[in-house]
């Protein structure tokens, strides 16, 4: 099913907008206010604030960027899925490639949209998501359909290199994301172990899992992957280095 199969407006849909650019959040809200069945109930500027407000406000839908301070959008989505929260996540991001889409949907997102999306299209995505559908670009899926789409996507992107695809493009755990952040700062496994007060072997085990999930060959590729996809912000790592 495509987005042209317009989802009919139903009850009022409550929405939280999360992006670290105030003007962008304001622009999205102004467009949504034009529709009587949509109501923006709050804003967030970083991942931690997003989690706090989702838990407090319980919006139907959160429209969220991936590249966020403190905690990225992938981490927020994964945490919401772990809590079995009813809020459905629409990723609205400038980071637009198939690997990123797979990561987002596997983390628990209901839709993935580039920031260049037309306002009316975004409205239709919101309505479809509220009705329990999953949206990737202009395609609309049910639960079985998105599962099949993800399986095919993983096989297409990584299948030619990896025999066991069970963990490939699976969400990183909180600890794995923490370690990946230190990797982007140039710390060795030994330095990460000392900083986190865990064993060197534990760090190595986590790194093995990270490489498998990202379908990359070494820690340098993992660091580049994280930065290229907006999972880690250089400004965040620099501020941590100064603290």
Average pLDDT across the chain, whole number: 89
For residue 131, the tally of other CB atoms under 10 A from its CB is: 13
* CA–CA separation, 171 and 78 (whole Å): 7
Over 70: is that where the pLDDT of 219 sits?
yes
CATH class of 13-152: alpha beta
Map out the domains of the chain as residue ranges. 13-152, 174-242
Query: Mind listing the pLDDT tens digit for each residue in 33-91?
Result: 999 999 999 999 999 999 999 999 999 999 999 999 989 999 999 999 999 999 999 99
pLDDT at 153: 85
- What are the angstrom distances between the C-alpha of 150 and each of 11, 133, 155? 30, 15, 9
What is the pTM (predicted TM-score) of this model? 0.84
Q: Which CATH architecture has domain 174-242?
A: Orthogonal Bundle (1.10)
- Among 83, 75, 108, smallest CA distance to 181 is for 75
């Amino acid at each position: 099913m495509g987005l042209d199969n317009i989802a009919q407006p139903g009850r009022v849909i409550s929405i939280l907008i999360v992006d670290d650019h105030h003007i962008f959040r304001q622009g999205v809200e102004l467009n949504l206010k034009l529709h009587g069945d949509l109501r923006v109930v709050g804003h967030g500027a970083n991942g931690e604030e997003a989690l706090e407000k989702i838990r407090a406000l319980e919006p139907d839908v959160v429209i969220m960027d991936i590249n966020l301070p403190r905690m990225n959008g992938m981490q927020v989505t994964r945490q919401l899925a772990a809590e079995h929260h009813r809020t459905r996540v629409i990723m609205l991001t400038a980071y637009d490639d198939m690997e990123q889409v797979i990561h987002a949907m596997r983390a628990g997102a209901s839709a993935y949209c580039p920031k260049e999306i037309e306002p009316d299209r975004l409205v239709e995505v919101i309505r479809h998501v509220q009705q329990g559908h999953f949206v990737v670009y202009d395609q609309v899926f049910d639960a079985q359909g998105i599962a099949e789409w993800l399986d095919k996507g993983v096989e297409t992107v990584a299948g030619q290199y990896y025999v066991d695809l069970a963990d490939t493009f699976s969400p990183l755990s909180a600890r794995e994301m923490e370690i990946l952040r230190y990797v982007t700062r140039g710390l060795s496994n030994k330095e990460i172990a000392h900083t986190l007060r865990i064993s060197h072997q534990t760090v190595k085990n986590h790194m093995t899992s990270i490489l498998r999930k990202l379908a990359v060959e070494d820690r340098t590729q993992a660091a580049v992957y994280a930065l290229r996809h907006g999972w880690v912000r250089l400004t965040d790592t620099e501020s941590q280095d100064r603290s």
